[in-house]
Structure 1
């Protein structure tokens, strides 16, 4: 009922949003004398703020600019190289001729290392990792998992749970066939480690060259944060009975049971409520003052932040139970379709863990736990990095990621690249 009520509320707001847009356009017209008055600017700013707070935010575009290689622009084309109902694998294909020219080499000499970024399936779209992708584009072949919003997947496509996630990741690694360097950001840490453990146990020649886990709840018992504590304090039944909704008929996934993105977003906002209120108040003031650059930066951030996706009921609830309540991977009890997951089977896939000093989502030690689980991995194939002064988002995006974390990751990948198949 809550989901349907939200959709009816959005529909009811359409006339008001139209009026706000008309007011904003009128008061910002150079032909309107009021546009240069304080009252006119304040009213236009209020209309703009109202519109942004009541808008439906769809999936953002990637909007990638040409990557600069030796100060020469190289165009990017996004292509789908693998697809299933709940995920597509995207390749950020660079113009090879322009890339070779920028490097002063022949096209046949281009042999950049492949990087598979496993994006979170935790409420936001893969575009949240735009900065992560951009950091690797100049010198790597970059791929990313583009998880599909559950409300857009017909119930005829069946279920999708945590086991399916693991199998999807394994299939995508295998589809690349190039022993890629796998980077799991936040939520996909446990299922990605599970997928690689299965590949290692099978001696799969397609297993990756390296695996990097960034701010991941490999063992959520370490330095528990507010989300970790909430998951443990509430019984499984509370999540099932209070957070699962039915997709309304207006979407392709009508009647699918999901954990709605708007509930996930509400939880994130409540964690830092005052900060978001201040940000919108500053947005209003910037528009009144005519500070378009600051207002545009606010819009860019919130266009991404407020765009959310639904998760299937079975995936969300299994993640809550297995990862955050029973800690199955950390305790050696995780299975995939009944098969035990054994991280100690990994002996030749290099391991890098990255954590943020101020991470309030995955506390210090949660990601490092991967080193303990991969007990048969030689010391020469391990590296742990704690980035000072960054929170969860700063682990994979922002200035310190670009200048300090990404170079360390690239050096690690260069040192441990192999070709098995």
Structure 2
């Protein structure tokens, strides 16, 4: 998914760059299709955050390196012969020092034709001409060992509600907001939201910044804001329908994948030559062909990029912590209530519990009042206090029973929870 999004973002920038340079027809003007070799070189300093993180501030972070190279022959009347791509003078080679082979964690695609101590070589062969922006030769290089401690240059926050498809519903409409506060107004701003989960299908229903949308698919959207960035805050928002796929039962937690980055864009046109060079952060990228085509090159200097990772899982039931008071139930006493304190595991809030769904032993409903949220056991975790009618609870106790285990169950955000506690039974005046 990440590669796809970067790829599509690059295509959009290529389109913009071509239009600006006059190589692409502008609406209302007659123009010949561009005839050149299109080259896009993208370098990224990237931060990936886990699904449970929704905010990234301006403080320095450990970012890693990624390169995405794209090449397309737009000379439709001829084939580009013997295309070779070589990166030389590399200081940070993606090689395992113990084996001398490409390191497993360094994603390098496609596999190089050959490599040495400080160079990597690909032979791409012949490339037919095409005007389609999807016909590219790609090289993708991710190196998590090559890191930088620096700020992204912007803060980013992801919010989304609701977070679950309840067990009793087939679909929901989730609202996702990606808030970006850039520091530099002279950069290109990219933002995107995507869903590629296996348990659900997605359909984008509505979105803002409609004139800035670059990619729009049922499960994906991307915006591009060109400089100058005149707004202090960019709040990108979509509404998307999420539906469970056939055969998937239970509550489904859905966290959307979000991305944002700031980047520079530089373009250059070269006359008919057989090879060109591009200076990378670490190394020199050389493209060589047997022919002498014209070249249009777009280079994006290292952009600062953040990925908010996605997540999905089916939750059949949440295990709650339950404490019943009193610890000893005297059948001869005249109390009015039985009290229960409920705690939920990390990731869930007792504030979201639907009190009307709470039952004791699937029989006795919780009273609507009194209800309170606090920290009864002083463990730093919020608990929900609810009460049950004592006379109804007494009907559950069997004659002569000395101990009883109570089950407290209910719903939180459409997900079923339950917990147990055992108390002593006595019968004294």
TM over 0.5: no
Q: TM-score, normalised by structure 2?
A: 0.22
**Higher relative contact order (CA closer than 8 Å, sequence separation 6+):** 1
Higher helix share: 1
Higher Cα radius of gyration: 2
Higher strand share: 2
Q: TM-score, normalised by structure 1?
A: 0.22
